[in-house]
């Protein structure tokens, strides 16, 4: 079917809140390129929103899924378990930097992982409250919506959010929130809203994802660890977007050396297959009773096969080194643009998790969300899929596959430069 025919069906049958505004429909993809239903080619700088760190249809991942399809597609692991689930758990327990011996539960999505992390934290501590941060994004289920540090579009139409979720400032010095102010705000939250003796966990992203690709400093993460230890609260790190090689290490928290009590992960964990995980210290993970965690499809055989293949690819193809090298290429080009264009500021990266701000005035750091939207729109028209993000909607973020070929990367960056020249 053509793009036009598919758009007609979309308008008629897909709920407005779930329908993509894009008018091109993916037909096939390879590494960092996508071809739509009309045969048009796109360079993919979005990676399915950070899902495709090893690229579209990595051959080893595809082969692993096909092989699994010839064996078992589904049993529900709580009814009859299978090798893939326990092998994924074993591998994650060895690579995830939580305190002590790690245990694992698998789920389907990032939001499910965060929901279960809260359940486990409540069971382990006997407390109800959680503290999250401004700008954080954790999912679209009701509890994770409440945890998100941004109202629109996630909470806008859905009525009251669940209680026992409290907020603290996230340090973004560029936008006027220093690390000291963020810690002061957290301590004030513990004094005025979330009594420590009733608070199960502090939950944060080590690099804000939807909130703007702002990394937390090593010292800030160390202070969160200290505060959690002081009050007997758990430290939960959300690595759904920053995990699996995006930052040049397997997980962003590794840059700090801080060991959390639990971590959540999803997105690039299985190269496009739906899977997520909660990994935590064994005593914490074992706190809830029998059959208290799980779901019909959690850790499906095909998704586990894909996840195991992805972890093999990381070792065999030096993905972490490639991520670091990709980040260096990106910020070098961004630096050129920052000099060339008055609208570009605050170039930053942690590995390949790279971004810059679009501003109306560099002196006042005035966010220019309109220009960000215009750039993404024009880039799409020129055959490049590009995403914005951030509390102010003015951050351009980069989530292309780490495996992107240099020629395709440079072609995409040239499109951005050309678009900027025409827009400003």
| pLDDT 10s digits, 49-61 | 999 999 999 999 9
Cis amide linkage into residue 153, ω under 30° from 0: yes
List Cβ neighbours of 90 (8 Å cut-off, separation of 6 or more).
none
Give the pLDDT score at 155: 83
Give the pLDDT score at 150: 83
CB atoms within 10 A of CB 363: 7
Q: pTM to 2 decimals? A: 0.97
CA angle in degrees (0–180, nearest 5) for 265-270-272 = 110
> Which CATH code is given to the segment(s) 62-316?
3.40.640.10
Q: What percent of the chain has pLDDT over 90?
A: 98
Cα–Cα distance, 161 to 226 (Å, whole number): 29
> Would strands 41-44 and 33-36 be described as parallel, antiparallel, or unpaired?
antiparallel
Contact yes or no for 227/186 (Cβ under 8 A): yes
- Given the structure tokens 């030096």, which residue do they identify? 318
- Say yes or no: do domains 3-54+318-423 and 62-316 share a fold: no
Cα–Cα distance, 281 to 99 (Å, whole number): 6
Mean pLDDT value across the chain? 97
> Would strands 395-398 and 353-361 be described as parallel, antiparallel, or unpaired?
antiparallel
Q: What percent of the chain has pLDDT over 70?
A: 100
Cα–Cα distance, 319 to 289 (Å, whole number): 38
Average pLDDT estimate for 231-247: 98
Give the pLDDT score at 152: 81
Give residue 400's pLDDT band: very low, low, confident or very high (50, 70, 90): very high
Contact yes or no for 240/264 (Cβ under 8 A): yes
Backbone angles phi, psi at 312, to 5 degrees: -65, -40
Cα–Cα distance, 43 to 407 (Å, whole number): 11
Give residue 383's pLDDT band: very low, low, confident or very high (50, 70, 90): very high
pLDDT for 154 beyond 90: no
b/e map of 203-230 (b: 16 or more CB within 10 Å)?
A: bbbbbbbbbbbbbbeeebbebbbebbee
Backbone angles phi, psi at 166, to 5 degrees: -125, 160
pLDDT for 347 beyond 90: yes
In this predicted model, what pLDDT tens digit does every residue of 98-150 receive, in sequence order?
999 999 999 999 999 999 999 999 999 999 999 999 999 999 999 999 999 98
Give the pLDDT score at 402: 98
Element (H, E) at 330: helix 319-340
> Which CATH code is given to the segment(s) 3-54+318-423?
3.90.1150.10
Contact yes or no for 162/146 (Cβ under 8 A): yes
Rg for the chain (alpha carbons), in Å? 21
In this predicted model, what pLDDT tens digit does every residue of 59-86 receive, in sequence order?
999 999 999 999 999 999 999 999 999 9
Backbone angles phi, psi at 61, to 5 degrees: -70, -45
In this predicted model, what pLDDT tens digit does every residue of 290-344 receive, in sequence order?
999 999 999 999 999 999 999 999 999 999 999 999 999 999 999 999 999 999 9
Cα–Cα distance, 330 to 328 (Å, whole number): 5
Strand ordering across the sheet containing 165-168: 102-107, 276-281, 262-265, 234-238, 199-204, 129-133, 165-168
Which of the residue ranges 136-140, 157-161, 281-285 would you say has the lowest mean pLDDT?
157-161
List Cβ neighbours of 334 (8 Å cut-off, separation of 6 or more).
344, 347, 354, 356
Cα–Cα distance, 350 to 104 (Å, whole number): 27
- Can you give the residue ranges of every domain in the chain? 3-54+318-423, 62-316
Contact yes or no for 219/173 (Cβ under 8 A): no
DSSP state, 253? G
Cα–Cα distance, 92 to 81 (Å, whole number): 18
Give the pLDDT score at 214: 98
Average pLDDT estimate for 263-285: 98
CB atoms within 10 A of CB 102: 22
CA angle in degrees (0–180, nearest 5) for 238-242-68 = 90
- Given the structure tokens 């598919």, which residue do they identify? 6
Give the pLDDT score at 313: 98
pLDDT for 179 beyond 90: yes
Contact yes or no for 349/330 (Cβ under 8 A): yes
pLDDT for 156 beyond 90: no
């Amino acid at each position: 079917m053509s793009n036009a025919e598919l758009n007609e069906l979309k308008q008629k049958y897909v709920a407005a809140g779930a329908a993509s505004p894009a008018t091109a429909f993916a037909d096939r993809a390879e590494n960092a390129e996508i071809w739509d239903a009309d045969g048009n080619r796109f360079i993919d700088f979005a990676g399915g929103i950070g899902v495709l760190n090893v690229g579209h249809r990595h051959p080893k991942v595809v082969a692993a899924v096909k092989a699994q399809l010839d064996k078992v597609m589904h049993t529900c692991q709580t009814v009859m378990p299978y090798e893939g689930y326990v092998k994924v758990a074993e591998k994650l327990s060895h690579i995830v930097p939580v305190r002590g011996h790690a245990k694992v539960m698998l789920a389907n999505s990032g939001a499910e992982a965060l929901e279960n992390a809260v359940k486990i934290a409540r069971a382990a501590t006997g407390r109800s409250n959680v503290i999250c941060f401004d700008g954080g994004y954790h999912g679209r289920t009701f509890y994770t919506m409440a945890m998100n540090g941004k109202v629109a579009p996630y909470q806008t139409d859905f009525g009251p959010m669940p209680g026992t979720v409290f907020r603290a400032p996230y340090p973004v010095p560029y936008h006027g929130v220093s690390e000291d102010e963020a810690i002061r705000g957290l301590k004030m939250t513990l004094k005025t809203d979330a009594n420590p003796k009733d608070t199960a966990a502090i939950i944060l992203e080590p690099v804000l994802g939807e909130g703007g690709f702002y990394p937390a400093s090593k010292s800030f993460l160390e202070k969160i660890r200290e505060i959690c230890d002081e009050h007997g609260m758990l430290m939960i790190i959300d690595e759904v977007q920053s995990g699996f090689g995006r930052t040049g290490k397997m997980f962003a928290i590794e840059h700090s050396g801080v060991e959390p009590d639990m971590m959540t992960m999803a997105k690039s964990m299985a190269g496009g297959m739906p899977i997520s995980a909660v990994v935590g210290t064994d005593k914490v993970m074992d706190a809830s009773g029998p059959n208290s965690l799980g779901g019909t499809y959690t850790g499906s055989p095909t998704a586990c096969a894909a996840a195991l293949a992805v972890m093999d690819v990381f070792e065999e193809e030096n993905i972490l080194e490639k991520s670091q090298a990709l980040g260096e290429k990106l910020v070098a080009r961004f630096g050129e643009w920052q000099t060339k264009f008055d609208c570009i500021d605050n170039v930053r990266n942690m590995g390949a998790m790279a971004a810059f701000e679009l501003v109306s005035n560099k002196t006042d750091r005035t966010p220019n969300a309109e220009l960000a939207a215009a750039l993404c729109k024009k880039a799409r028209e020129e055959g490049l899929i590009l995403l914005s993000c951030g509390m102010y909607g003015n951050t351009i973020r980069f989530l292309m596959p780490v495996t992107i070929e240099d020629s395709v990367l440079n072609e995409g960056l040239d499109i951005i430069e050309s678009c900027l020249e025409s827009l400003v």
